[in-house]
Structure 1
Amino acid sequence: MIDRIQTWVFRAPTPAPVATSFGVMRDRPAVFVKLTDRDGGWGWGEIFANWPAAGAEHRARLLHEDMADLVLDHPAEDLFARLTAATRIRAIQCGEQGPFAQVIAGLDTAAADMAARRAGLPLARHLSGMAAPSVPAYASGIAVARAAEILPGLREAGLHAAKVKVGFDPEADARHLTQAASLMQGGRLMADANQAWDVPTALRALDQADALGLTWLEEPLPADAPAADWAALTDAATPLAAGENVTGPGFARLIANGHVTYIQPDVAKWGGVTGNLEVARAALAQGRTYCPHFLGGGIGLHASAHLLAAAGGPGLLELDTNENPLRDAFGAPVEDGAWHLSDMPGLGIDRLPEEIAPFETLALDSHH
């Protein structure tokens, strides 16, 4: 039975704002959660907190003030399914299905970490005896206007796959994207529009993507666009990617309709380890590629690496290149373009790094 919930909120300043087509991150937040059971077992998870700007503290308080009664004195097993059902009416009542799902995702990851620790196995091997010891990685979070200054250094560091953010000024994006493609010759280049376009704009972007040989174009349309809109894009040669803004049954539809090749759930945003592994295996069974989305702190990134290793397939691990001490303090074991998993039990994270303490804004503790 779970005996204690501890949650920490952090905000680290950014040297430069992180811009997407829909908004700007002016600091880097993170919400880390630790579950402890009556036998002294424990595990770490991370709750999505990037958006809205005030989201991090809200998620922490949502967990402790509105959900702790559903967690304490309950088993860690089957936590994802149980909490999803138990919070359904609460989430509908306040119209906050997303925040509830994000909190559940972090709790599920903590429960999975706890179970792997109890088994004495790294999380990836606890999930699959066939888990790979390393997974290929790609650099992300790169504004297309800055690609020319950033991509050469990444290639020198051994990362030969990268994703740039587009969806700003169409003419400037096209010019910068062409330059980025020339710098990634012999590697792989992807572009992420962050839901910025309508169908005609996306079709024009796909014409350029086809000419440049992009590996994928990510979220060219809003995640809730009709299936017919997504179908209108599938005559292009460039595969589509999506999933970070999909939840629950939406993944079954995303996989089944065949419009999207690269399926990208986010472990901190929906599903945790349980939900993401189910999506990954369903995607692979239908010939799609599982590529975990992630743009947060160190715990979620390590969980994403373990999930990709356990699921297998040709997917890539997303590595945000923007400075973020709430991620970097946990270590990034990347060598020759691959993330090498630890042999330590669970996620391989024993405690929060001391270096992030100055960025703490809130700490909550619920227990019996």
Structure 2
Amino acid sequence: MTIAKIECWVFRAPIERPVAAAVGTMTNRPAVFVRVSATDGAWGWGEVFCNFPTVGAEHRARIMREIVAPLAEGTPSDRPADTWRQLTQRVRRMALQAGEPGPLAQVIAALDQALWDMQARRAGLPLWRLLADTPQADNRVRLYASGLGPEQVAETALAKQAEGYTAFKFKVGFQPDKDIADFEAIRAALGPRAQIMIDANQAWEPENAMRRIAALERYEPYWIEEPLAADEPLDTWRQLAESTPIPLAAGENIRDHANFDAAIQNGHLRFVQPDVAKWGGISGCVAVARRAEQAGLVFCPHWLGGGIGLAASMHLRAALGPAGLVEVDANPNPLREQVCPLTNLNDGWLHLPDTPGIGVEPDLAALARYLVAVA
């Protein structure tokens, strides 16, 4: 049961309105879907993070084809965590030499997702059940509508509320007056008890973050995500956390177990948000999630891509029980909607299907209009 073949499809779906955040803007929705096949006929799907930079999707597909796939083919397909560790170690020096530890980690993360999907399909189980090691685990996940703004924040929130969402996250990190006006509008639209989070996307410098957060405290955000750059010193993060009653959230831009452990032990986070397509895949992120929850923190997987990674993220959260929330991008994206449609959302909760694996099988023929490359 070794890895026989690794295939990549690069998609770009046009959108009418760019998706903007403090860190950058997407003028289309990219995705890199990865299918791993094994010698016993089993297969599984993964997804690579590729939102940024604008050439990221094609670049990561070539990394998979020319660097990672030749290393992975012929290796065991039934021990995902071992394969992830071995591949990570094998490309370590190349990542340092090229200055690209992130892209290489993202490609390996997608391969790891696919191997876990494959394992669950072999077992005839949904992935959450294969991963579950707690009696609290079940097929329920609570979703929140993410990526609201920077325009029409209140209108988008109300539309998502009508779809069944009960928690919402919108973008800040723009001009102070706009951040305040957006929060006033969304709070007025949703009411005083609505669960509203804010995401600064690393926008603020340490010297002004306290002031920017203080101006938003009266609106009672449930958390503030990435108010600082992910690589700011831990002491700086802790000082910021101690300066505000608003809980801090981060994790999508943390890489490596040591860095996650340091962040968990530092005490500045209440919500830990690893991303299965940015680092670690299922193997790395489930380990981080378990350590975070053992430390009394809440695991809320980050996701802002296509439907494969969303499905994997939901299964990962379900495996640890019904606490926490799973991020669902509120912006239009056919590469998410056509691959992992979300139906029967009830009071913010979704029941995952009993389908083996992550429960999705991309219809490549239906997605062909968005295809830009095959690797």
Q: Is 1:343 the counterpart of 2:354 in the alignment?
A: yes
Match of 2:321 among 312, 332, 338: 312
User: What does residue 212 of structure 2 align with?
Assistant: 205
1:183, 1:117 → 2: CA distance? Answer: 43
Deviation at 1:313, TM superposition (A): 5.3
Partner of 1:15: 16
Which residue in 2 is equivalent to 1:96?
100
| Aligned position for 1:34 | 35
Report the 3-state secondary structure (helix = DSSP H, G, I; strand = E; otherwise coil) of the residue aligned with 2:215: helix
Q: Are 2:275 and 2:301, in contact at CA under 8 Å, matched by a contact in 1? A: yes
* Aligned partner of 2:342 among 332, 344, 355: 332
Q: Deviations over 1:81-116 (max 9, x none)?
A: 111111111111211100000000000000000111
Residue type at the aligned position of 1:328: E
Range with greater deviation from structure 2 (264-273 or 209-218): 209-218
CA distance in 1, matches of 2:323, 2:240: 23
Establish whether residue 241 from structure 1 lines up as the match of residue 245 from structure 2.
no
> Is residue 25 from structure 1 mapped to residue 35 from structure 2 by the alignment?
no
1:165 aligned residue: 171
Question: Which amino acid is the alignment partner of residue 359 of structure 1?
Answer: Y
Question: Which of 110, 126, 140 lines up with 1:122 in the alignment?
Answer: 126
Instruction: Report the number of matched residues.
Output: 364
Structure 2 CA distance for aligned equivalents of residues 244 and 51 of structure 1: 13
Q: Give the aligned partner of residue 157 of structure 2.
A: 151
Show the counterpart of 1:85: 89
1:239 corresponds to which letter in structure 2? P
How much does 1:267 deviate? 0.6
Cα deviation code 1:160-200 (max 9, x no counterpart) = 21000011111121122122122232220000000000123
Mapped to 2, the partners of 1:271 and 1:339 lie a distance apart of 25
CA distance in 2, matches of 1:105, 1:289: 22
How many angstroms does 1:41 deviate by? 0.8
**Match in the other structure for 1:43:** 44
**1:73: which partner in 2?**
74
2:223 is the counterpart of 1:216 = yes
Deviating more after overlay: 143-152 vs 169-178: 143-152
C-alpha displacement of 1:145: 3.6
2:147 aligned residue: 141
Instruction: Describe the shift of the 1:91–1:300 C-alpha distance in structure 2 as closer, same or farther (beyond 3 A).
Output: same
**Preserved CA contact (<8 Å) 2:199 2:225:** yes
- Structure 2 residue identity aligned to 1:67: V
* 1:105 pairs with one of 106, 109, 114: 109
Unaligned runs of 5+ in 2: none
- Kept after mapping to 2: 8 A contact 1:12/1:29: yes
Q: 2:367 aligns with which of 356, 359, 364?
A: 356
TM-score where L is the length of structure 2: 0.94
1:56 paired with 2:57, answer yes
Q: Which amino acid is the alignment partner of residue 347 of structure 1?
A: I
Residue 334 of structure 1 deviates from its aligned partner by: 4.7
Q: In the TM superposition, what is the alpha-carbon distance from 1:353 to its structure 2 partner?
A: 4.8
Q: Deviations over 1:308-351 (max 9, x none)?
A: 00022521010101000000002123511112211010011234
Give the conservation status (yes or no) of the 8 Å contact 2:187–2:194.
Answer: no
Residue of structure 2 aligned with 1:265, choices 274, 292, 299: 274
Q: 1:154 to 1:350 in 2, by over 3 A?
A: closer
RMSD value over aligned CA atoms?
A: 1.3
Name the counterpart of 2:287.
278
Amino acid aligned to 1:210: E
- For structure 1, the residue ranges without an aligned partner over 5 or more in a row are none
| Aligned counterpart for 1:176 among listed residues 182, 185, 191 | 182
Q: Which amino acid aligns with 1:247?
A: R
* Post-superposition offset of 1:23: 1.1
| Cα distance in 2, alignment partners of residues 216 and 354 from structure 1 | 40
Structure 1 residues 9 and 213, CA, compared in 2 at 3 Å: closer, same or farther? same
Aligned to 1:232: 239
- Matched position secondary structure for 1:355: coil
Contact in 2 for aligned 1:289/1:313 (Cα 8 Å): no
Question: Does the 8 A contact of 2:170 with 2:198 survive in 1?
Answer: yes
